[in-house]
Structure 1
Amino acid sequence: MTERLTLRGLNRATLARQMLLARENASVAETTARLCGSQAQEPKPPFVGLWTRITGFRAEDLHTALHERAVVRATMMRGTLHLMPAQDYLAFRAPIQPVLDAGLKMLGSRAKGLDIEKVLPVARGLLQESPRTFNEMRSLLQEEFPQVNERALGFAVRMCVPLVMVPTQDRWAFPRDSRFALAETWLGSAPSTDDPTAVEEFVLRYLAAFGPASAADAQTWSGLPALGEVLERLRPRLRAFSDERGRELFDLPDAPRPDEATPAPARFLPEFDSLVLAHSDRTRVISDEHRPGLTTKNLRVRATFLRDGFAAGTWETERKRKTATLRLRPFKPLPRSALKELATEAESLLAFIEPDATDFQVTTEPAA
């Protein structure tokens, strides 16, 4: 008989994989490997996401990993930017390519006249000369293809050429208009394209980071279709469970599944954190009632805080002169003990985000 997992059991299992039951002593490369990538759509959130998971994390730790090329920021799951260990990027970039190819459909009528087979060799040639910003790339490509929409040219290169962002010494490592380099140039080798088991290994790594999970969960996270077929092939190597809704979930046999009574500390997740994006059914982290408020009209994913392992509200910071303020916006009224724990964690987070501030304040707005 298939073992049934409660909602709290799923929550604790996922938090254990995501290093959110306790901070751990781990390097940036080890952590991003365990997380199967860290969402990095904007430069600042990954620093916060690592701070909330790694004991004694410093911003310099990520800078060092990026400049030593142990970790890269590149387009991956769902066609969005992620931090990944260089070796994982090289291994898993090819399995993601169908998602990126499908993303070209977003261009619609702007793709008129776009011939990928002609554009990509020219783009590669330009990037072999030196890393370039996309403003530069679009301008140079338009000189070669004047009849094609410049945004379409840039987007095609972003989706179809394996690129990594070149880090700088800026505070959050990447300025607004960063340069991109060919992966093979930056890392010394091109992404692997000849591993027939790469998709299966990719799914196993997802389960290690976010399981137990369903085929729909894995598809939502990766953007890849037909992962049910992959999981069926992997079934002899996996354990099957059911959740409270009767869905079949898969997991690695020896992956951590703590008791549902395991304490979960207050934690702050940054914007776009993968924890709140990695499942089709996200009730293991955030209730269906509150999920719509997590994303803004312009598709920004708000920063959230966890109380007892579940998303209990959103947060944001503000800096005025030497005062740094973190505002809590709870979904529901919180008990005083929870607010005290959150305030302690928030003050530490403020000191990390705004190290030169001299006054740190935590405020709580009325529940929505």
Structure 2
Amino acid sequence: MHAAGRRPFAPRSADPTVAGPVGRQTGGMARTASARAAGPVVTTRALGRATLARQLLLRRDARDVTDVVRGLLGLQAQVPAVPYLALWSRLDGFAPEDLAGPVRRRELVRAPLMRTTIHTVTADDAVGLRPLVQPVLERTFASTAWGQRLRGHDLTEAFDVAVRLVEERPRTRAELAGLLAEAVPGLDPVSLSWAFSYHVPLVQPTPRGLWGESGASALTTYRAWLGRDAEPGATSVDEVVLRYLRGFGPATVRDVQAWCGLTRLREVVDRLGDRVRHLRGEDGQDLVDVPDGVVPDADVPAAVRLLPEYDNGLLSYADRARVVHPAPHEPLLGGPGGYVGSVLVDGLVRATWALRRERDTAALEVHRSTPLTAAETDDVEAEGRRLLAFVVPDAPHTVAFSGAG
């Protein structure tokens, strides 16, 4: 079978928003429009508390890591350590092996999915989500210089060769390009290697993604690593929208689209009928949610959290006002072996952080974007020391503040 036959180049419909079973029709467009207009108002602060609660950031949880990853629809993971830091911020007593174990057992896997970025997801979600986001991956690739170089070429033979090569053993993109240069002369091999990774469902196998271990960014197929291919129709876009709302809602349609990269999701929301409820933001925007979605009181206390870069709790909205303070935020550099991220204070990003390693010591810098009270500063320092103890448990460490007083 050709590689093209194995990959989900298109959903069952040319429109990815109608893949899979259609949601129940419960009253038509007039009822939907009426529901939008009549929805109760939710303040931006209350939206932030809802996000924190559903992202397990309001208070740490004790549930199983695989269940958490499934419930959050994956963790952004292009930096291999980021999922560990994200789970440390969410789970009580989290240890690196709690994530590394399921990754070794291939219950969780690293693969390019939403927004074309690497995510750590369950094996089932890798199989089900890839066909839905395939149009986004192909559209993104077509807009790149690599895509423009290959425009108009039939790549089926090249992809067949590439599949065989990465199923022999995982290969880096550079290694694959070198082999394709010999096997498929006449086409730019670097562009081919990138085309392959955008068009054919691939994973990054271990040791990449294991805490404390280094590993090249190698590639192999779903079939070689998981024993099965991506499955068009295994997951419907309707169900994905509902799952997004459970983990990130209430949200606008634009928020859902920003998270996954798909378009025309208003049609999906409208056909979901009474499987969703409609609320209104302070600005009058239509917010969609699952009927039993919890929206905590706006004044529920929110503990300090140090989130890693690319945390989905911050990135998965078109409008991030619910979780990001409007003050300018200065990104910090972590340096070799270091990490960076954002500091949530009272539910909003109000500082950035960088953990830097130097020989046998570690230092955490917190750069305040807004002034912090003495109590808030103490809470940030305490959480920072807990982070240092997690990342570098045996190293002497310090915490220092910079930025706004």
With the shorter chain as reference, the TM-score category is over 0.9
- Deviation of 1:169 after TM superposition, in Å, equals 7.9
Q: Is the 8 A contact 1:73 1:165 kept in 2?
A: yes
Q: Is 2:45 the counterpart of 1:8?
A: yes
The CA deviation at 1:227 is 1.0
User: What are the residue-to-residue correspondences of 1:30-69 with 2, within 5 Å?
Assistant: 30-69=67-106
- In terms of mean alpha carbon deviation, does 104-113 or 235-244 score higher? 104-113
Structure 2 distance, partners of 1:173, 1:232, is 46
Which secondary structure does the structure 1 equivalent of 2:353 belong to?
Answer: strand
- Structure 1 segment 171-320 matched on structure 2, within 5 A: 172=211, 175=214, 177-195=216-234, 198-290=236-328, 293=330, 303-320=341-358
Residues 291-339 of structure 1: CA distance to partner in whole angstroms, max 9, x if unpaired?
A: 7x5699xxxx961010001101110011223321110011111111001
Aligned counterparts of 1:348 and 1:188: Cα–Cα separation in 2:
39
Residues 171, 218 of structure 1: alpha-carbon distance in 2 compared, 3 angstrom cutoff: closer
Cα 1:223/1:71, change in 2 over 3 Å:
same
Unmatched 5+ stretches in structure 2: 1-37, 334-338
Give matches, 1:74-89, under 5 Å.
74-89=111-126
Which string of whole-angstrom CA distances, capped at 9 and with x for unpartnered residues, describes residues 131-170 of structure 1?
Answer: 2222221111121223222221111111111111111188
Separation in 2 of the partners of 1:204 and 1:35?
12
Does the 8 A contact of 1:75 with 1:82 survive in 2?
yes
Cα separation, 2, equivalents of 1:93 and 1:226:
18
Residue aligning to 1:106:
143
What amino acid is the match of 1:151?
V
SS in 1 for 2:351: strand
1:112·1:148 contact (CA, 8 Å) conserved in 2? no
Separation in 1, partners of 2:291, 2:209 = 43
Distance 1:284 1:218 in 2: 15
- Residues 128 and 233 in structure 2, CA contact (< 8 A), matched pair in contact too: no
Asked if the contact 2:45/2:322 (under 8 Å) is kept, the reply is yes
Partner SS for 1:231: helix
Q: Does 1:328 align with 2:342?
A: no
Give the secondary-structure state (helix, strand or coil) at the position aligned to 1:255: coil
Look up the equivalent residue of 2:272 and give its one-letter code.
L
Secondary structure of 2:207's counterpart equals coil
- When the two chains are superposed, the root-mean-square deviation of aligned CA atoms in Å is 2.1
**How far 1:112 moved relative to its partner?**
5.3
Q: Once the 2 structures are TM-superposed, how far is the Cα of residue 171 of structure 1 from its aligned partner?
A: 5.7
> Paired residue for 1:128?
167
> Is the deviation greater in 278-287 or in 160-169?
160-169
Amino acid at match of 1:234: L
Q: What SS does structure 1 have at the residue aligned with 2:398?
A: strand
**Structure 2 counterpart of 1:21, which letter?**
L
Distance in 2 (CA, whole Å) between partners of 1:295 and 1:192 is: 41
Q: Tell me the CA shift for residue 38 of structure 1.
A: 0.5
Match of 2:204 among 165, 171, 176: 165
TM-score by length of 1: 0.93
Q: Distance in 2 between matches of 1:55 and 1:320?
A: 29
Contact 1:113 1:147 in 2 (8 A): no
Aligned-partner residue type, residue 120 of structure 1? F
- Cα distance 1:76–1:174, how it changes in 2: closer, same or farther (>3 A)? farther
Aligned mates of 1:240, 1:51 — CA distance in 2: 33
Distance apart, 1:113 and its partner CA? 6.6
CA separation in 1, counterparts of 2:215 and 2:167? 22
Q: Distance in 1 between matches of 2:87 and 2:241?
A: 23
Partners of 2:181 and 2:64 in 1: how far apart?
Answer: 42
CA distance, structure 1, for counterparts of residue 332 and residue 209 of structure 2: 28
CA distance in 2, matches of 1:107, 1:285: 32
- The structural deviation recorded for 1:9 is 0.7
2:143 is paired with a residue whose SS is helix
Higher relative contact order, chain-length normalized (CA < 8 Å, sep 6+): 2
Q: TM-score, normalised by structure 2?
A: 0.84
Residue-pair matches, total: 361
Cα separation, 2, equivalents of 1:326 and 1:126: 43
Max radius of gyration: which structure? Answer: 2
Q: Is the 8 A contact 1:324 1:350 kept in 2?
A: yes
Q: Say if 1:100 and 1:170 are closer, same or farther in 2 by CA, change over 3 A.
A: closer
What letter corresponds to residue 398 of structure 2 in structure 1?
Q
Moved more, 131-140 or 278-287: 131-140
**Identity of counterpart residues, as a percentage?**
38
